[in-house]
Every structure is written in structure tokens, then in C-alpha cells.
A and B are shown apart, each in its own frame.
Chain A
């Protein structure tokens, strides 16, 4: 019988330290068995369980895009037992991954639409996946204009800085990078919290879907802004986090009402969330 708890073995191929405080690293993983690589078919917004033998598993959003072939990558914040151990592992070490898990952003519904991406802090990972996916030459024509608001505490806490700069230079994606504050006199982007920058820069909700992923406080204060801009609850898409173990809707801990974040989510529309208790 197929065992949904058995991870695929992968090799850590590359590690990039993303932030100045070194609390976030991106791990590029390569499948050891080619058939596992072929089975791991995902869409932006999904996550996987990273399995560190001897320590345990952690659910992490997939930061790479399906258009990037040959590897999957994950940006991991160092907070607990597993993530701290993982941060000390080296290129060439073996871990496991289990997935892809959960639903994805609603790509069918987003076709032909204007896409607004709103991210905060280290939750930008699946949004990075989404942007890379959308601006790929094979996909770009499937979406109308793409606007991005991305904020971090300070410039040193922004993820994927080289890519952000490259996207800034493109004319087929509108970037609004912001920081809560900075002492860098040469900072040429925005200063301010994500909700207020959103209100200032995203002036139209016409034919648009907004994807929001960030810390709970950002999600909380961004929703009213989007509502004011005219986004309907169906067109505000949220990606949520929860403590998880199984990732397949069985172990019972990640529920919000009758939905499991791991299996029914992690992506929900604001319309769906309105009928559920605010227990997240």
C-alpha cells in the first residue's frame, strides 16, 4: 500500500543565506531518485513537509516555480528544533521531502485577470514561486497586469534581493517594495507598512484577484484596505499557516472550523474564511 508519510530522499544542492540577520536560508533540493522528481508535480501556493531524520518534519511553502526544472527550493526561517538543525546542515547532506501538499493559488480563476500580489516578511516564498511562474515566457500572456507589494522590516530582511532588483527593471510587472523603516539614506523604494502602501499604490480592483500572504497582523490589516479598494471576498485570496504534522488531513491539529489548513488549504478565499471561526 502506498505510504503517504514516506518522504522522497533529496540532496541539499545549494544553500543561500537570504537575510542580513541570517535567520532565513533558501535550500535548493535535488531528488535522488528521478521517478520521485517526476512524481513531484506542483503548482505555486502548495507546500511540502521537509523531513530531517532524527529531528522531525516542518511544513514549508514551495519557493521555487514549476517552470524551474531539476530542483525544488524552500526558504526556511530558523525558529525551532527542525529548522535550527536544518540551518546547520551542509550542501551534499541528505534530507527528505513529502508532498506536494495542500491546494494552490487558484490559477484557473486567475487566467486573464489582473493579479495583485501582497506579501510581508518571510511569507514571500510561495509568492516568489507565483511571480516566477507568471513572468515565465510560456505563461506571461495568460495573465493581465501584475502588481506586487512586498514589505519587510528593513532592507536587510527582504528575501530574494537580486530577483527583486531584476523585476524592478522589467516593464511587464509593477513592483512596490517597502520597508517598515531604514537608516539607509540611499533607500530609493517605499517606507511604510504593507497595508498603507497597498492603499496608496494599488488604485484599481478592476478585473483583479489579490493574493495575500504574510504574518497574521499584516493579513488582518490588509483585508479592509482591499475591501475598500473594491475587491470582493471571492477575489481576496489568503494563504495561511498552522502547526502541522501529517500534512494530509489526518492528525487533526491544523483545523479552522471544519477545514484542515493542510488539505483543504493552505489557500482560502476571504469568502470562505468569513464563515469559519477566527481561530488561526
Chain B
């Protein structure tokens, strides 16, 4: 299928026509911020005015809290204390308007949840049921640095469809079979011609040219773990940190979780919840010993994981997409780009305008 052109209004109407086939998520404005919400008949879609959502769309594949198992604690019940999987369906869903950085984050998380030895059944099945319809970024924010992390404002990695905002219209391009299937169900639109495609290319090239240069992985990969771990700058980096966990909570590529049992009368659930390396409880042993008892150790862990341990483990870029949420929302203005520069001894990441 070739590229298609939709009027902006026609695109949203076509999406509404998918109700029977997909659960469609779109960005909407809530207060001063944006969030991905289910598209229904009166949803006011914010494709035109949003830079990105405050919370990343990771929760659509990986909910903040998820019931894993349920069980009876009633001794009269023959199945007392036997865990049963919570029944779930993984119906087709689509995230329309996801930014390329957030799609890139699913590729990063996939390495954690879909491994040769073990597959996380909930993450994998929900991810496989999800179609990602990206919206290229015409005007990245000052906190955006996707290009530095190997992505880009119109990067296709991890997307099934890419939309170009051409002003009055969207040029829509299928990138995968999943994307073809999604577009095949849409009504309306016309085929894009050469002029449309050239205009889209000019747009994406122009935006990319204003973005920071890629940060090379080699200077960090070639260092020993301990050389960065023992560097003198960690106290300074951590000085203002509150360990509030906002950065890890908003990060589309942070995947750590906790598992807890909750009991209601004679029934219980095993639940998993997002967790954060910013919290001392994350690593506290039963004995009382804590390998990361100090704040600076936890701050160091976050950056070492993203920029060194991940690099050493997977040898494919950083565990960061440059979405800039942690920079934008950190209450004490810790800037991950500054820390990356310290770790790599590279010149500062050039900020976009």
C-alpha cells in the first residue's frame, strides 16, 4: 500500500470508524497536560497542539498495576492457596499519535520482557496486540534529544505507521504488515503523489537538522564499568536529588517492577506494580543490609543502568530515547544530558532551539 493523504478531520472520523476492530488511544488535553485516552465519539483529539503526553504511553502495554494471580485463602476451599492466572483478553489496540521516541522505548523494553529464556506473558501479549501509529514531530521541545539517542523526530523504528503533519492534511505511511492491516481497515483518504512525498521528506529533513547530534556509544562502551562507577562526579550529580522517582515514573524506557500480595478477607491477589530504583526499599535485604542505602548510589544506578549496564548487556544503543520527560519534570532540574556528558567525556549535547 502506498502513502495516503487524509484531511485532518477525515483522519479522526476514519479512526472513529475502527471502534469494532481496535481499542484506539489518542492524545487528549487534560488541564495543562496531555494524556493518551480511549477514543470515543466525543473525544477531542489533540494531534494538532500537543508536543507529547506527560505520562508516557508505556502503561497501555505495561499497566502501572496489574493483577497477576488470584487465590483463595479459605481452608474449606479445595483450591486453598493455589494460585490461578487472572483471566485476561488481549484485544487489538492502537496508539495513534505516539511520538517516535515513545515507540523506540517499546523496542528497548522488549529486550527486557521478551528474552530467549523467559517471556513475560502480559507484556508480550499486550505488545503483540498493539499497533503503533506514530506522529512525526514538527516542532520538538527544548528538552527533546531523540537524535542524540539514535532516534529522530520522524524515526520509523518500532512504529507500524508514521503520520506526517502537512498542515491541512496528514500523509500516512504503513511501515509494517501490522500497519498495513490497520490502514486497510480505514475508510477515506486518497493516494499520496510525488509532490506529497517530497514535501514530507523536506519537512522531516528540516526538523531533524535542528536537532542535537547523535551521542556516540563507543566512548562509554569502551570504558570499564568501575571507571565510571567510581568517578568523582556522582556526589554532585545527586546533591539536589530528592529521590522522588518522577524520572523513573515518567520514563517510557524504565521497566522495573515490584510484586506484592494483597488480601481481601479470604481471597487474595498477587499484583505487580511499577517500582523505582530511586527508593531504598527497592534493594533492602531481609537482613537489613542494603547495597544501595545511600541516595547517590541510587542516582548512580539510574544513570549507570541507562548508559552503561544496558549498553554492555545488549550492545545496541542506550536505554533512553531522548523524550526529555525527566528533564522537563524533575523538580530540582537534574538534566540527564549533563550526566551523560560527564559519563562519556563527550562535548555537551547541543540543545535544540
Contacts and interface: CB of A to CB of B under 8 A. Distances in A.
B81 A255 contact: no
Contacts of B124: 1
Contacts of B82: 9, 53, 94, 96
B303 interface: no
B242 interface: no
B113 A250 contact: yes
Interface stretch (A129-137, A180-188, A241-249): A241-249
A249 B310 CA distance: 13
B69 to A, nearest CB: 7
Interface stretch (A54-62, A138-146, A196-204): A54-62
B6 to A, nearest CB: 36
B226 A275 contact: yes
A54 B118 contact: no
Nearest to A55: B261
A34 interface: no
Contacts of B260: 56
Contact of A251 (B224, B259, B287, B313): B259
Contacts of B289: 216
Contacts of B255: 250, 252
B287 A245 contact: no
Contact residues on A (Cβ < 8 Å of other chain), bracket:
35 or more
Interface string A1-45: 111111101000000000000000000000000000000000000
A221 interface: no
Given A250-B118, A253-B256, A253-B277, A6 B261 contact: no
A58 B26 CA distance: 40
B313 A258 contact: yes
B138 interface: no
Nearest to A1: B121
Given A3-B121, A216-B289, A276-B225, A94 B275 contact: no
B130 to A, nearest CB: 16
Closest 8 CB pairs of A and B: A252-B256, A258-B309, A79-B286, A94-B81, A80-B286, A258-B312, A277-B229, A1-B121
Interface of A: 1-7, 9, 51, 53-58, 77, 79-80, 83, 93-96, 216, 241-243, 245-246, 248-258, 263, 275-277, 279-280
13 contacts: A1-B119, A4-B118, A6-B69, A51-B83, A96-B82, A242-B285, A243-B285, A245-B257, A249-B115, A251-B258, A252-B305, A257-B312, A258-B225
Given A5-B69, A252-B277, 7 more contacts: A1-B125, A6-B69, A77-B286, A250-B120, A251-B258, A252-B256, A257-B304
